[in-house]
Chains A and B, each alone.
Chain A
Amino acid sequence: MIKRIFIFAMLALMAMIFFNLVANYTENTTLSKLGHYYADKGPQELGAPNLVTAVVVTYRGLDTLGEVTVLFISAAGVGLLLRRTRRNQDDDKGLEQGDRAEETAGVHKPASEIVETATELLLPMVVLFGVYVFMNGHLSPGGGFQGGAIIASGTMFLLLALPESHISRLMIAITESMSGFSYVVVGVLGVFLAGGFLDNRIMDLGTYGSLFSAGAIPLIYLFVGLKVGFELSAVLDRFRKEDTGPV
């Protein structure tokens, strides 16, 4: 009971803080100084029409590198927590009979032909759409993280429709580490060829508004998109009940 009163009091205090915030709220009518600079100079400086992309990839590129690192660590943590050692598998064999019976009863009925065909037809399109989203990240809404999430949704689709399908851990690990490595290499090239770490002007800025423009931004988003897509696919694969393939 006392616990409940404490929780209620705490929430009430939080609500009071929030109420003050809301009561004194006035909508901005002009951009902040920093936002003004980015909106004013960003397109000329970096050649990217999408200002959010310019901020994420170049002006605040280091934050994004840190973000990719956090995602990598969390994927690695999920892999570590849900890994199956040989000992664990022996433990599983020792589970109570009820559990075993439940597991054998839960053996999947194979998916119907309609589901299989639809998956084979739609999966390449989903992946292609993900690639489209991250390759156009500097021109239109989208970017590496969004495109990567779409690719991972394709993996989710595959795992739901054809749960027996095997996803190569080795392929995921190689693609992921190569794209992460290339991302950092592109960043370091910026130190030598342009203004600083992760500067996108190591390549020609190109025609404003075309696909291959804005210097290294499409390249960086290609690496980020691949890395995020494969990382999230690995996380989804780890959450499967039956762990196929080598650890």
Chain B
Amino acid sequence: MNMLTDIPISLIVLCSGLGLILIGMWGMLTQRNIIRMIIGFSLMDTGIHMVMVSIGYVTGGTAPIINDAVPIADAVNRVVDPVPSALVLTAIVIGLGVTAVMLAFAVRIFKARNTLNIDECTESKW
């Protein structure tokens, strides 16, 4: 039990994030269904966000919002790094935009060929 509690929390988040990146990449490379490839991309995206958040963690830190729990004078020693959090916010929104465009392409491909299998789209294959 002690072994478990000795592992820093950010390391757990980091490992889960890296694992999600690998799973997402595997999904994108092996799946032939376009929707599944998009799901793989989303998983990888989420993994990257988790890695970024874990890198900004400071031991014992709390959310970078100053309130009764985090007095303004002591904020420097109490909060986690706000910069990676802000970057993750940006990354989430951009990931959403990319996913929306990919899904729109998937709809178009389905309308044009009546299939979502990537192997049927042979024009750009060599």
Contact = CB atoms under 8 A, between A and B. Distances in A.
B105 A70 contact: no
B83 A32 contact: yes
A60 B22 contact: no
A74 B93 CA distance: 11
Contact of A39 (B82, B103, B104, B105): B82
Given A28-B59, A239-B103, A52 B97 contact: no
Interface in A62-84: 63-64, 67, 70-71, 73-75, 77-78, 81-82
A35 to B, nearest CB: 4
A67 B104 contact: no
A25 B86 contact: no
Interface residues of B, number: 46
A30 B25 contact: no
B81 A31 contact: yes
A141 B90 contact: no
Contacts of A228: 93
Contact of B101 (A4, A50, A67, A78): A78
A51 interface: yes
B41 to A, nearest CB: 14
A14 interface: yes
Contacts of B11: 22, 25, 27
Given A32-B81, A70-B97, A145-B93, A15 B22 contact: yes
Interface in A95-125: none
Interface residues of A, number: 53
Contacts of A39: 64, 75-76, 79, 82
B86 A55 contact: yes
B89 A56 contact: yes
A96 B26 CA distance: 37
Nearest to A231: B97
B14 A22 contact: yes
A218 to B, nearest CB: 16
A174 to B, nearest CB: 21
B37 to A, nearest CB: 13
From A18, A39, A54, name the one whose CB has the most chain B CB atoms within 10 angstroms. A39
B122 interface: no
Contact of A78 (B63, B67, B100): B100
A74 B100 contact: yes
Contact of B76 (A4, A22, A31): A31
Interface string B72-113: 100110011111011001101110111011011101100000
A82 B107 contact: yes
A204 interface: no
B58 A141 contact: no
A202 B90 CA distance: 24
A27 B14 CA distance: 11
- Of all A-B residue pairs in the complex, the 6 with the closest CB atoms, nearest first, are A74-B97, A35-B81, A51-B64, A81-B104, A55-B86, A51-B82
Interface of A: 4, 7, 10-11, 14-15, 18, 21-22, 25, 27-32, 34-36, 38-40, 42-43, 49-52, 54-56, 60, 63-64, 67, 70-71, 73-75, 77-78, 81-82, 140-141, 143, 145, 228, 232, 235, 238-239
